[in-house]
Every structure is written in structure tokens, then in C-alpha cells.
């Protein structure tokens, strides 16, 4: 099989992950504009879980790491220094989820629920964000805890040079 064909599957998986993350952001934006953030939270998180589950354990683990980094960006757009630090913490928790333990992203998602209830300056359309995130982050966090406990994901070890 030619080399370019061997790289096609990882490329397709990466594009799928990027698509799901982008669609998540767009979906949340649409839900906020329509005033249905709370109503959309559980169905949207369930769709993400199913979509990532289709990838198989290793790719799913990478997808959750990427979405965990995305989660850290939730408030980074406000430009506050604490929000910027939190973003980098979430990037680190996602990476640790790939190379150390899948418990790191689970902790990040469940911990984000508390973070959402701290005072933040949000646009009016996002007034329901804390309650919606409790549902959205909570379902994903419980899923990640459940399958971390079950041993679905193992730390990836870089290939020897």
C-alpha cells in the first residue's frame, strides 16, 4: 500500500475530530442565540459522545484530549489573565489524558462545572451558560469517568526513534 494511502485514515480521523469540535462551538452559539442552551446541552453532549465513540479507543482518546483543550477556551476570549492560565491548564490536562491517564480529562470536565459558576463577564445570550455547562460538562465528565474506570483508554507511548 502506498505511503499516502497509509496516512489517509489518520488524516480523516483528524479532520473528523476538528469537524466535531467546530460543530460543537457553532451548535452552542446557535443554541445561545435561540435561548435554548439548557435544552440543547444534554443532546449535544450525547451526540459528541457517540461521534467520538465511533473512532475506536486510541482515536477517541485523542479526540477527548482535543475537546478538553477546547473546553479550556470557553472563557479565554474574555482576555482575563486567569482565563488564559486556565486555558493552558486544560491543554495540559488534555495532553496528560493521552500520555499519562485518562482521568485527567475526566477531572477537567467535572471541574469545569464549578468554574462555570464563578462570576464571569458573559454576553447576555450566554446567561444560561453555567446551568447548560453543568449538564453538558456533567454528562461528558461522567462518561469519561465511567470509561476511565473501565480501562477503555491506555496512555499512549511515543514510538521509539
pLDDT in tens, 25-63: 999 999 999 999 999 999 999 999 999 999 999 999 999
Q: How many CA atoms lie within 13 A of 62 on its CB side?
A: 15
- pLDDT for residue 159 is more than 60: no
Residue partners of 20: CB distance under 8 A and separation at least 6: 48, 51, 52, 63, 67
* Rounded (10°) angle between helices 57-72 and 103-116: 30
Instruction: List alpha helices for the chain, DSSP H.
Output: 3-6, 8-34, 37-53, 57-72, 81-99, 103-116, 129-149
Closest to 87 in 3D by CA, of 68, 65, 104: 68
- pLDDT for residue 74 is more than 90: no
CA distance 51 to 64: 11
pTM comes to: 0.89
- Burial of 16 (C-beta count, 10 Å sphere; 0-12/13-18/19+): middle
Amino acid at each position: 500500500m502506498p505511503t499516502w494511502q497509509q496516512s489517509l485514515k489518520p488524516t480523516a480521523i483528524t479532520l473528523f475530530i476538528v469537524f466535531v469540535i467546530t460543530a460543537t462551538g457553532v451548535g452552542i452559539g446557535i443554541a445561545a442565540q435561540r435561548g435554548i442552551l439548557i435544552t440543547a446541552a444534554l443532546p449535544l453532549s450525547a451526540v459528541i459522545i457517540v461521534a467520538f465513540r465511533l473512532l475506536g479507543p486510541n482515536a477517541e482518546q485523542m479526540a477527548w484530549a482535543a475537546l478538553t483543550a477546547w473546553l479550556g477556551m470557553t472563557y479565554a476570549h474574555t482576555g482575563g489573565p486567569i482565563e488564559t492560565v486556565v486555558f493552558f491548564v486544560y491543554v495540559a490536562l488534555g495532553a496528560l489524558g493521552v500520555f499519562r491517564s485518562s482521568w485527567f480529562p475526566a477531572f477537567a470536565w467535572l471541574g469545569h462545572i464549578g468554574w462555570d459558576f464563578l462570576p464571569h463577564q458573559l454576553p447576555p445570550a450566554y446567561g444560561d451558560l453555567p446551568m447548560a455547562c453543568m449538564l453538558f460538562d456533567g454528562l461528558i465528565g461522567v462518561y469519561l469517568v465511567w470509561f476511565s474506570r473501565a480501562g477503555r483508554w491506555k496512555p499512549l507511548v511515543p514510538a521509539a526513534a
